[in-house]
Amino acid sequence: MPQPTPQTTKKPSSYELAGRRIQKLIAAPGVQKVQAITVSRLEHESAEDWQRLIDEISETAGVMVEALEDGAIRIGWRQYCEA
């Protein structure tokens, strides 16, 4: 009988983890009312992955990305962008 092969699970990249973190923040009920979040890169997140994620978000129609003085990023959509 053949031995089962161990499954190797690929550890998510900092890009994937940051994306999931931002998705969770956006999905919060209170945030849906405001339609904007302010978020910063965490120490363990790669600067390159973070920039890639922010660049991709900024290319999304109906989304505004604003760099703040403290290095944080404000992401807004719909009504926030129209205000």
Average pLDDT over every residue of 14-25: 95
pLDDT digits (tens, 9 = 90+) for 55-77: 999 999 999 999 999 999 999 99
pLDDT of residue 51: 96
- Among residues 36, 48, 42, 41, the alpha carbon closest in space to that of 79 is found at 36
Please name each of the domains of the chain with its CATH number: 14-82 (1.10.10)
For residues 72 and 36, the answer to whether their CB atoms sit within 8 Å is: no
pLDDT range class, residue 78, cuts 50, 70, 90: confident
The vertex-82 CA angle with 25 and 54, nearest 5°, equals: 40
- Among residues 35, 26, 22, 29, the alpha carbon closest in space to that of 83 is found at 35
pLDDT of residue 32: 85
Tell me the one-letter amino acid at 83: A
H helices, E strands: number in the chain: 4, 3
Please determine, for residue 31, whether its predicted confidence score (pLDDT) is greater than 80: yes
Among residues of the chain, what percentage have pLDDT more than 70?
84
